[in-house]
Amino acid sequence: MTMTRNIHSNNKESKDKKILTFAVPGGKVYINDYYTNSPGSFLNISITGQDCQLMCRHCRRELLKGMSEAGDSKKLVELVKKYIKRARNNRENTGNGPLKGMLISGGFDAEGKLPVNNILSGISELKSKYPFLTIYIHTGFLDEDEAAALKRSGVDAVLVNLIGSQKAIREVYNLRDRTYNDYLDTIKLLKVHGLKVSPHIIIGLEDGKLSDEFRTVKDALALGVDSLVFIVLKKASRTADFISSKVPHDEIIGLVKYARELSPDVLLSFGCAKPPDSSRHLLEIELIKAGIDSMAFPAEETVRFAVENKIAHTFVEKCCAIL
C-alpha cells in the first residue's frame, strides 16, 4: 500500500505530492543496498580551523576536527577549485559524481559570532565561477551589515541555531550575555534581507529533556522561515561533559507533528545529529508518518520502509535543509 504522510495537513493534495528526501552529502560515507554516495561530493568547511572560543559542553571543538579549513576568501576559492579538479579526475577514473556543494561554518567567538566577513568575497567568486554549487553557511549571531553582505554574496541559504532555553544558552553554549531574543533577531534580519533561512531546533539541550522546543518551533514558523531542521544533540567528544540527550522518541515525534500542524507547507527535516542507538530507524519511520520531508543519513531499515510502502523518495548529496 502507499503510505499517506500528511496526517495533519490542511492542504492534503499538495502535501501528498511532496517527495521524501534522503540527504546523504558526500562529506560522510553512506553505503547500503539502496544508495551509495560519492566521496567528496559535498564539503564541510571551517573558516576558523579548529579554533572556537565558546568550547560548548557537548563539543569542545571536536566537530571542527573533521572539517576542511579555509580561513579567508583566497583559501576558500583555492580549496574548492582543488576539490572540483579532484572530483573531475575521480569521475573520469571511477564514475563518481562531481562536487555538488558545501556547508561553511566554524568555531564561534565569545559573543557567539562567526567571522563571516572573511569569506564573503570568496563565496561571491565561487557562485560566479561555479553556479552549479550549492553553498550553505551556518552562522552564529549576525548584525544588519553582515546579513546584507551575506545576501550580496549569493549564498544559497543560511542555517542558524534557535535555542529557547536560557539555561542551555548559558550552561551548554557558554554564552553569558545572549538571550533567546538574540537568536530571533538574527532570523528576522536574514528574512528582511531576503535570504533563505533554516533554523536548527536542538532537542533536549536542557538536561536531556524537552524544555522550550515547542515555543521555538512556533516562533520560527511565525517568522516565515524556509525550513526547520530538528536535531537531537549528543556528546561529540570524550572530553565533553554534556550528557547525551535521552528525549523519548514519542516526544520528538510529537514536536514534529506540532510543527506540521502549524505549517502544512514548510519543509521539515531530521538532521545529522540524532540518537545513535540501534532503534533509530523506528524513530525515523514514525517521523516519516508524522510528515517529515527530509532526513539526513537514514538507517537502511528506514529506506526499506519507504520502498516497501511505495513512498516516493529521492537521495540527494547535499545538506538536509534542502534549500
| Per-residue cell: 246 | 535521552
Question: Which of 105, 202, 198 has its CA nearest to residue 158?
Answer: 198
| Per-residue cell: 147 | 546579513
DSSP labels for 175-203? Answer: -SS--HHHHHHHHHHHHHTT--EEEEEEE
* Main-chain dihedrals φ then ψ at residue 310, nearest 5 degrees: 55, 40
Please answer whether residues 39 and 30 qualify as being in contact, where contact means their C-beta atoms are separated by less than 8 angstroms: no
Q: How far apart are CA 142 and CA 145, in angstroms?
A: 8
Q: Return the pLDDT at 235.
A: 56
Q: How far apart are CA 271 and CA 231, in angstroms?
A: 5
C-alpha distances in angstroms, 112 versus 60, 109, 265?
14, 5, 31
Q: How far apart are CA 318 and CA 151, in angstroms?
A: 21
Across the strands, what pairs with 135? Answer: 102
Q: How far apart are CA 80 and CA 70, in angstroms?
A: 10
| Per-residue cell: 281 | 530507524
C-alpha distances in angstroms, 26 versus 41, 44, 107, 206, 296?
5, 9, 22, 32, 12
Q: Which residues of the chain are modeled with pLDDT < 70?
A: 1-17, 90-97, 234-245, 275-276
Task: Write the CATH number of the domain with boundaries 12-316.
Answer: 3.20.20.70
Please answer whether residues 264 and 13 qualify as being in contact, where contact means their C-beta atoms are separated by less than 8 angstroms: no
Q: Return the pLDDT at 5.
A: 43
Q: How far apart are CA 218 and CA 98, in angstroms?
A: 38
Q: Return the pLDDT at 95.
A: 44
3-class SS string, 240-292? CCCCCCCCCHHHHHHHHHHHHHHCCCCEEEECCCCCCCCCHHHHHHHHHHHCC
Please answer whether residues 234 and 244 qualify as being in contact, where contact means their C-beta atoms are separated by less than 8 angstroms: yes
